[in-house]
Amino acid sequence: MPRISNMRKAIIYMLISVLGFSLMNLTVKYLDRLPATELVLFRSIVSIVLSLYFIRRQNLSPWGNQKAYLIGRGLAGVTALSLFFYTLQKLPLGSAITLQYLSPIFTALFGIFILKEKVKWWQWLFFGLSFGGIALIKGFDSQISPLLFVLGISSSIFAGLAYNFIRKVKDTDHPMVVVFYFPLMAIPVMTIISFFNWETPMGWEWALLLLMGILTQIAQVNMTKALQMVEANEITGFKYLGVIFALGFDFFIFGYTYEWPVLIGMVLVVSGVLFNLFLKASLRRKAKRNAA
């Protein structure tokens, strides 16, 4: 019974997290007058204050042990988020988020070289399924210019690189220190960039910037709670419900409708990622049972 209770709570936490991130994406869409790099800067200022607060509470050194990987995590994460925010501002939400959903594939590919992990033959089939979906989306979604397509894919590539750096330091550095390195890298880089293309927020934009930071914190806290209650492979699939929220926002708020080939492409992208995730989890559980 406690196990069932934990799973239900974890699902609730994960759904709150998905909703939080989806609403955060919506605020970014409404802040399209401000440069994406400026949004990353404001988000990072909130993040570094919160990170330092929790690091001090836990009496941790903020600098960590594997500094090269921590710096790499920060820079890759900053690049990924900046590109993602830019595509969110320029593309329909569903298209931008679907392109970002390729990040687990690039995580696995980078893992071959950084973590010395092997990719099974069946994973390549699922990767092909997802990329086939991307080809459909690119071919039929007139909103996606070649430049935005490349930037969206690049965002998922850098996200995959950042995830590998995070996994590289999981046994040597505290999670709060890993989180801290994102704003530590973002603030100086985004400050320099923003100096050349600064747009001062006006009126309601200040409220949306604050809301963006609050929604991010709510989403991250609830995701962390969910991942602490059950194994990650049992719950992470729920985050892909975010594309449902994105499609709903596109249709009901922005009046944007997708052609059927584009929707089929989105289904293929998410299916390829989820099939890979669930089969890996199933094989892992089977290996544990055999070992016992």
Residue 234: its pLDDT value, please?
A: 63
| Low-confidence winner among 76-80, 151-155, 282-286 (lowest mean pLDDT) | 282-286
- CB atoms near residue 260 (< 10 Å): 9
Nearest CA to 85 among 27, 142, 133, 135? 27
Number of domains into which the chain is organized: 1
Query: Is residue 1 very low, low, confident or very high in pLDDT (cuts 50, 70, 90)?
Result: very low
Residue 239 burial (10 A CB sphere; 0-12, 13-18, 19+): middle
Task: State residue 233's pLDDT score.
Answer: 55
Which of the residue ranges 3-17, 58-72, 207-221, 267-281 has the most confident prediction, judged by mean pLDDT?
58-72
* Bigger pLDDT: 271 vs 290: 271
Residue 81: closest CA among 164, 167, 180, 190:
190
Inform me whether the pLDDT recorded for 155 exceeds 80.
yes
How does residue 152 score in pLDDT terms, banded at 50, 70 and 90?
very high
Stretch 7-36: mean pLDDT, rounded? 91
Provide the residue range defining the domain that includes 283. 2-291
Query: C-alpha dihedral over 281, 285, 290, 292, to 10 degrees?
Result: 140
Out of 87-101, 108-122, 180-194, pick the least confident: 108-122
What does pLDDT average to over the chain?
88
Q: What is the average pLDDT across 147-172?
A: 91
The rounded distance, in Å, linking the Cα atoms of 255 and 259 is 13
What pLDDT was estimated at residue 227?
64
